[in-house]
Amino acid sequence: MKLSARNQLKGTVVSIENGAVNSIVKIEVAPEVVLTSSITNASVEELGLTVGSEAYAVVKASSVLVGIDD
């Protein structure tokens, strides 16, 4: 797999919550660091995602916001 996105984080699927159309997929990319993504149920099925399977969280954004506490 080759992608233009540089933020490719390999991890383990720790949770899949199926909805009517979309699923919420949680991927642990480091100990206690979990990224959450909403993807279609069809994508979950096509990718063969199950809890415990390896997957990549790929982040592509045109901007990143930075904030601080007041």
pLDDT digits (tens, 9 = 90+) for 5-51: 888 999 999 999 999 999 999 999 999 999 999 999 999 999 999 99
Domain contains 33: yes
Task: Provide the domain count of the chain.
Answer: 1
Q: Indicate which CATH number applies to the domain containing 39.
A: 2.40.50.100
Domain contains 2: no
Q: What is the pLDDT of residue 6?
A: 83
Q: Which domain holds residue 14?
A: 7-59
Q: What is the pLDDT of residue 54?
A: 97
Domain contains 64: no
Q: What is the pLDDT of residue 46?
A: 97
Token digits of residue 9: 């984080």
42 in helix, strand or coil?
helix
Q: Note whether 24 and 36 are within 8 A (CB).
A: yes
DSSP state of 61: -
Token digits of residue 37: 């993504």
Q: What is the pLDDT of residue 60?
A: 81
Cα–Cα distance measured from residue 12 to residue 31, given in angstroms and rounded to the nearest whole number: 10
Domain contains 11: yes
